[in-house]
A and B are shown apart, each in its own frame.
Chain A
Amino acid sequence: MKSSPLVFVSWTSVVLFASCAAPGRREFNALDSNRDKKVTEAEFFDHITSESFRALDADHDGKVTRKEWVAKESTPRSRRLFTTFDMNHDGAVVPAEFTASKTKRRQISNIFHTVDRNHDGGLEWNEVHSR
């Protein structure tokens, strides 16, 4: 089937638009898990922790053993964190244990509030993509 020039121009426009999209847009969309065009602090926290947990969980069984942890966490400080997070001392960290730390929540909250410039508790693309 012969494609019309109009179709070609349309696809070219789409590709050009995608390649010229503002930097950071992809990361914003990745953070906006419920697609309401607003990134809340909870979404930010969930994204950061779940990405990290997924990277640590090499065999994808939903828990991180000490061996998996040591393989990914290179610094002595972060290796010691395994003992802190393994609250029931069963030799593995599950997502609930991984995200339970109040200190971690506060640290990630501090990072979120450096980006949330109008301090309304949410990030919108217009707020991120502004001078």
Chain B
Amino acid sequence: MERGALPLNGNIDPLIAMNIRLTRSFLAASFALAPLSGIRAADHMTDGEKAAAIITVGAFAAASAHARGHDQGPDYRNPGTSVTVSIYNAYGEQVPVYLYPRNGGWFGPRGEFYRTIPSVRYLSKMYGSQRPGR
């Protein structure tokens, strides 16, 4: 097998294979540049672990791409289907936060997924006057 090549067999889904190739390029560049950045001086992942991580992340990227093609995410262009939660911003003004129902849960404005509708307090931390973690 070519050096650095992934142990892929011929049965893999073409969409997954494409995303694995893209992810491999991205992560390979990250691994190569990481020691230069000084953030991560040591690299303790074996080649096999990197390959396994790349295959997993690539498959998840393919799942995300599949969802885009099958309308599995929130439709931000159609606010009529959303639920509005009012919170207060840093100026004390009441502002709306839209939640979009999909896949048995809710998507927030930044694309984050909630299994149930989040509380006003939580959304206030995310989008309002309170900072997260306080």
Task: List residues of chain A with CB under 8 Å of any chain B CB.
Answer: 22-28, 31, 44, 47-49, 51-52, 55-56, 72-75, 77-78, 81, 84, 101, 103-104, 106-108, 111, 114-115, 117-119, 123-124, 126-131
Contact = CB atoms under 8 A, between A and B. Distances in A.
B63 to A, nearest CB: 3
Contacts of B3: 74-75
B88 interface: no
A129 B63 contact: yes
B60 A24 contact: yes
B72 interface: yes
A131 B60 contact: no
Nearest to A107: B45
Interface of B: 3-4, 7, 13, 15-16, 19, 27, 40, 42-49, 51-53, 55-57, 59-68, 70, 72-74, 102-105, 107, 111-115
Contacts of B64: 24, 128-131
B48 A115 contact: no
